[in-house]
Structure 1
């Protein structure tokens, strides 16, 4: 995993997620020198960080790249002192839901901008 300054958007083009505040982290996975995925952490406060912008290229899905990215973000979140990580995904993102559940995240009520959003599902994972 590598720190990166950009990440592919959903169309596969580089973008720069808004990682504001102290402790924002962007990690990337490469295969043979080619960027195949990324993920970010956005610090909310001293105790909580949100997993953002998880993405792997379609041809690498199912290869373990997404799990490696998520594991790297969990490790980085703990190293930053976060007590928990939170994330949001869509209710039709079955592979993402399975990935997050297998990685120890559990469903919680929708939070923040996702509260009341019909197709959003929110998760959290304690790190302490």
Structure 2
């Protein structure tokens, strides 16, 4: 299925709905701590936010970037509607965020998933991310798995894009 990825403001109505569903799923999983080590996200914290839209116009997935430094960013707020999972929307959002990161000079990406979120862990591993140490915001969290990707390294499978930033 084809998806269109659109940059949206943080307070976009469809983005708000998707993030609310994400938070509901996270809170339903008692082993997922959902950012306990910092303040709640506001528009000032979000450097880029996207929504994937299906051919019928329905917003079905979202994700965003938060700058960590001049060269690194955190991928956050990844969510796909349950009836669209496994259809490519998440990968489309992820690749779009990686492209934005490269454009902005963020060559090192990090993200957090809960230890019980095995589907998410497998997804990021298939996408080329590797397990990493806990970064500052989540230091000491026993319920988080941190993944990272260096966009300067050509770690993709044959036929996928290669980084132009060296």
TM-score by length of 2: 0.69
1:11 alignment partner in structure 2? 21
What is the root-mean-square deviation of aligned Cα atoms in Å? 1.8
Q: Structure 1 or 2: larger helix share?
A: 2
Deviations 1:83-115 (A, max 9, x none): 210000001111111111111111111112211
Residues 10 and 55, structure 1, Cα contact 8 Å, conserved in 2: no
Deviations 1:14-56 (A, max 9, x none): xxx53536x8111110111111010000111110010010001
2:52 alignment partner in structure 1? 29
Pick from 107, 111, 134 the counterpart of residue 110 of structure 1. Answer: 134
Residues 4 and 26, structure 1, Cα contact 8 Å, conserved in 2: yes
Residues 38 and 56, structure 1, Cα contact 8 Å, conserved in 2: yes
Supply the distance in 1 between the matched residues of 2:88 and 2:146 (Cα, whole angstroms): 22
- Stretches of structure 2 lacking an aligned partner (at least 5 in a row): 24-40, 153-166
1:63 aligns with 2:94: no
Pick from 42, 46, 50 the counterpart of residue 74 of structure 2. Answer: 50
Q: 1:12 to 1:110 in 2, by over 3 A?
A: closer
TM-score by length of 1: 0.89
Give aligned pairs, total: 124
- Stretches of structure 1 lacking an aligned partner (at least 5 in a row): none
Structure exhibiting the larger radius of gyration computed from Cα positions: 2
Supply the distance in 1 between the matched residues of 2:103 and 2:65 (Cα, whole angstroms): 12
1:12 Cα offset (Å): 6.3
